Structure 1
Amino acid sequence: MTPPQGLEVAIIGGGLAGALTARVLREAHRVTIYERAKDAGEVGAALAIGPTGVRILESLGFDQERAGSIPTGLIKLYDHKGNLGHEQYLDTTEAYGAEHLAYHRSDLRNEFLRLATADSEQLGINGCPAKIVWGCEVTAVDAEAGTLILSTGEKIHADLIVAADGIKSVARPVVVGDAAFSTTKASGISAFRFLIETQEIQDKMGHLPKIFKPLPGHKYCLTMLFSTDGSKRGMVIYPCRNFELVNFLCFVTDDKLKVNSTRSWSAPGDREEMVSLFSDDFPDWAVDHLRLADNIKLWQLHDQDPLPTYTVGRVVLIGDAAHAMTPHQGQGATQAVEDAEGFRLFLRAGTTRDGVPTILKDYDSVRRPRASQIQLHTRAAQSNRKPEDALRYEKYNWTYPGIIKGLERVKAGEELVQF
């Protein structure tokens, strides 16, 4: 395989967005990921990726079997009394060209890291593997010079800096330059999240509920419950990792919690408190599973106003650093995948250091309008508390042409997303 002779690329953060971006750019450039964590241990539970993201992953050599993915086959939407409001069998392959898939977050991240760092010949691609520097904290960024400053005081020079460093991004204030946009804000809603092994549910409850069992075609049922009493409570339940685990996400407003403070992905949650917030009026078939929960995390959901730009100089924001949103549309991971695919603009012939700012402006012209609209859809879905509202934005969310075709449309003055 031909070693890259292209740009020196520094990626801040080796999470989902950063790792997959490294996979794209490694084909033509020298890529280094600077990750604050000391190892690849992943925090989080399960997530889903929509058809737009799945099509991109398939083009990058992603191994669905290795990642333990399972496709959505049925969506059931209930109100908080347990009344079925909407039921829809899902065939996104026919409608949108790919499946809608669920993953355990750590399995997905491990596969992204494999694609970023595995031997090029093994992957059948050009270029050299990306390097990862673990336990490395970036404290400052110089966008024009293309310089990172580490907590050790060391300076790293790069032709392109990709900031995939999450909701507390060190690069966002530098890029937007406006205090109103420099930080994310608490959405007013938090989520208890946990996983239960399907075998444990079977053993402790004496049976395995039908919604956790495989449907024909090895597909799964996505179950959602929405409060209609104005309390903004809700539950999202679905299996992952080849049906070995069931993921639970339980939404509550911050003012109903005993401890109302900033909570990260890994903050502990209290089972008794969680059960008390749902047991009075949510159906027993849902609440009974909450009583089995262990290792519960309480996650404060953050939101970000759509930014005026994702890029300045040699720096570009991606993932939660660019477009933090709550999980009410399940679009966070999909947008991270779409972000990563956007760096195919840097694989075109003739890419040089001098041309980086111009390419980033092209990237911004496609990715920012797209992700910003998804943010607005997510806010609307959070406010709409009718079961049927959950799928209101399905067609837009699951339709995207990719960066190359998208840029052609933008430059021609056409709509980016065309149904």
Structure 2
Amino acid sequence: MTQPDTHSLNIAIIGSGLAGCLAARILREQHTVTIYEREPRNTETGAAINLGPNAVQVLDSVGFDRVRACSIPVTRCITYNRKGENVGETDVDYATEYGADWLFHHRADLRDELLRLATAPSEELGLKGRPANVVYGTRVVGGDVEEGRLRLDNGEEVKADLVVAADGIRSTMRGLVVGEDAYITAQPAGTSAFRFTMTREKVIEIVGGVPDILDSSKPASMVGMYAFDPTERRAVMYACRNYEILNFAVIVPDSMLKALPEDSWSAPGDRDEMVSLFADYPEWMLAYFRAAENVKLWQLREQDPLPTYIRGRTVLVGDAAHAMTPHQGQGGNQAIEDGEGFRLFLGDHVTRDNVPSLLVDFDRVRRPRASRIQRNTSQTMGRYSEKEVHQFRRLNWTYPGIWEGLRRVRAGEELIQWGDGEARRERPAVASQL
């Protein structure tokens, strides 16, 4: 008679976004993983996303396929003021400086590749264990976080050894884990983002040729145009999907909008209003705005740092744990770091009985790290110089991984050590603010 494997857990993951899919990819090597996704089919909202070296190092370690994900390695940042004057330009070999590339993606392409890593046959990926199973069209409506019990909207109850709540900014599980009403809902951050993408063909039509930002023979760039005034207006654009799409994020204070948008990626935006709010920007930027189609308006939200990510057998990850605005581009990166954290659950030390203690270790590393980045993001929404735009980049893009992070925490060391590796040889001038 075959004896049960006491080191293999039954794991329920709520949500198939970035954090949920990467957690499934890590955990499937040893455990039985089921993802409960409220959408009725494989879908992804949003536009583009950039991942810094802290996240890319993790992806490189799990078989991430850049060709499938249409990844673009970026080496250049160009900053303009609202007059169209170039006020800063940096060229950096990020792989050398930080240990991995800085990659740009269409969000759907990135999520599809992470879903493949979670669900593809083990033989295809060269892994042990079984693929994660995704149950679509199933909403988790409550449960017992201490015991690992979930209630589904169809009336079914699910029992798991570990529950990973990757259920997003409107998390059902957040209030159950934290137990305080103040943390149930992420709050408006005071700014909103017009979001749209433009095809390569449309950009060429507007410009009259291929602009540098879509020229694959030139260094890939993130271009930011900042008002550098109290309005905090900014427009950021970069290529994704193998230079076939140009992504735009155009941020304005809520006080300047005629009406506040819905808290949704897909709320319609008014193109003419966007153009009028940036009338003092140069014509070459406004030409893009006037030609924009299918503009969306997304109200940015943020969550105060939580007092805990864990309770019993349940852990919050991704936006459920640390929703933040995109001003430092760290929302997706922190979701990837969260997913990597489940390496704590691989090995013969893992049993059903010690799941709560392993979650304590997870929380000791992940929560202080993500909370610090949340606070920095909130403090740097207003930018008045090119230097302020990038002031936290080194902190953001430096992360040792969950096991080394836990060793440092247990030893009373700083999680982020500025001397890590040859690339981290200089402490930034703003380190005292960190």
Question: Taking structure 1 as the reference length, what is the TM-score of the superposition?
Answer: 0.97
Structure 1 residue 62 and structure 2 residue 76: aligned?
Answer: no
2:198 aligns with: 196
2:248 aligns with: 248
Q: What is the 5 A alignment of 1:175-214?
A: 175-214=177-216
1:417 aligns with: 416
Q: What is the 5 A alignment of 1:85-124?
A: 85-124=87-126
Partner Cα separation in structure 1 for residue 384 and residue 352 of structure 2: 49
2:303 aligns with: 304
Note closer, same or farther for the CA distance 1:77–1:215 as it changes in structure 2 (3 Å cut). Answer: farther
2:422 aligns with: none
SS of residue in 1 equivalent to 2:228: coil
1:23 aligns with: 25
Partner Cα separation in structure 1 for residue 229 and residue 395 of structure 2: 28
1:352 aligns with: 351
Structure 1 residue 132 and structure 2 residue 134: aligned?
Answer: yes
Structure 1 residue 79 and structure 2 residue 61: aligned?
Answer: no
* C-alpha contact (below 8 Å) 1:267/1:299 kept by paired residues: yes
1:234 aligns with: 234
* C-alpha contact (below 8 Å) 1:73/1:215 kept by paired residues: no
SS of residue in 2 equivalent to 1:22: helix
Identical counterparts, % of pairs: 51
Deviations 1:318-356 (A, max 9, x none): 000000000000111111110000000000212111101
Deviations 1:80-100 (A, max 9, x none): 221221110021111111000
Partner Cα separation in structure 2 for residue 385 and residue 166 of structure 1: 31
SS of residue in 1 equivalent to 2:183: coil
Structure 1 residue 392 and structure 2 residue 363: aligned?
Answer: no
The structure 1 segments of at least 4 consecutive aligned residues displaced by more than 3 Å after TM superposition are: none
* C-alpha contact (below 8 Å) 2:232/2:383 kept by paired residues: no
Equivalent position amino acid for 1:328 in 2? H
Structural RMSD (CA): 1.3
2:426 aligns with: none
* C-alpha contact (below 8 Å) 1:66/1:111 kept by paired residues: yes
Partner Cα separation in structure 2 for residue 83 and residue 180 of structure 1: 44
- Return the offset for 1:142: 0.7
1:8 aligns with: 10
- Return the offset for 1:215: 4.8
- Return the offset for 1:212: 2.8
Deviations 1:182-221 (A, max 9, x none): 22100010000111011211124322322332354xx411
- Return the offset for 1:26: 0.3
- Return the offset for 1:147: 0.5
Partner Cα separation in structure 2 for residue 190 and residue 358 of structure 1: 40
Indicate the larger mover: 337-346 or 374-383.
Answer: 374-383
2:174 aligns with: 172
Equivalent position amino acid for 1:408 in 2? R
Partner Cα separation in structure 2 for residue 195 and residue 90 of structure 1: 26
2:262 aligns with: 262
Q: What is the 5 A alignment of 1:285-364?
A: 285-364=284-363
Partner Cα separation in structure 1 for residue 18 and residue 143 of structure 2: 21
Structure 2, unaligned stretches of length 5 or more?
419-434
Structure 1, unaligned stretches of length 5 or more?
none
Deviations 1:1-44 (A, max 9, x none): xx986111000000111011100000000000000001112111
Equivalent position amino acid for 2:246 in 1? V
Partner Cα separation in structure 2 for residue 171 and residue 143 of structure 1: 8
Question: Taking structure 2 as the reference length, what is the TM-score of the superposition?
Answer: 0.93
- Return the offset for 1:119: 0.5
Deviations 1:91-113 (A, max 9, x none): 11111110000000000000000
